[in-house]
Amino acid sequence: MPNDGSGHCGNCCYLDSNRSHCDLRDALIQSFHWTTCCSRNSQNSEIIGPILAIVCEIKNGVAAYGSIPYYEGCRVDTVQGPEGGDTVVKFVDNEGESHEFATVSEYMGFYEVAGREM
C-alpha cells in the first residue's frame, strides 16, 4: 500500500517515475512512495543527507513508523515473519550478502560504525 503522505519521493520534482530514478542523486529509488530524503523538492539542487527508507517497525504488537538510511545505495526495509509478530530489518548489500537486524536501533548501530569505516 503506498504512503499517502506528501513527504516521499513519489511527490518529488527530482523523481523520474518512469525509471524509478532520482535525477538529483543519479540513484535508483526502490519503492518511491516509501522513500524520502532531506533534499526532496529543494530549490537549490543540493544533496542533503542520505536516501531514507520509510519503514514500519512492529515490536510487541505496537507499530511505529520512521525513516532509516539506505546502506551504500541499497534499500533497507522491515519485514514481518510468516506468522506476523515483530519485524526485523533486512537488506542485501552490493556484493549480494544478506543482512538482518532484530531492531531499527541495531541496524542504526551497524550503519554508524560502517559509515565511519568507509
77 and 43 both lie in a single domain: no
**What is the average per-residue pLDDT within 93-98?**
95
43 and 59 both lie in a single domain: no
**Domain span holding position 90:** 55-63+70-117
9 and 33 both lie in a single domain: yes
113 and 76 both lie in a single domain: yes
How does the average pLDDT of the chain come out, rounded?
90
| Residue with the larger pLDDT of the pair 40 and 117 | 40
59 and 29 both lie in a single domain: no
39 and 59 both lie in a single domain: no
* Rounded Cα distance, 36 and 28, in Å: 12
32 and 59 both lie in a single domain: no
* Rounded Cα distance, 20 and 28, in Å: 6
83 and 111 both lie in a single domain: yes
26 and 59 both lie in a single domain: no
| Number of domains into which the chain is organized | 2
Q: Of the given ranges (4-8, 10-14, 67-71), which has the lowest mean pLDDT?
A: 4-8
Q: What percent of the chain has pLDDT over 90?
A: 77
3 and 35 both lie in a single domain: yes
| Residue with the larger pLDDT of the pair 73 and 114 | 73
Find the radius of gyration of the CA atoms of the chain: 15
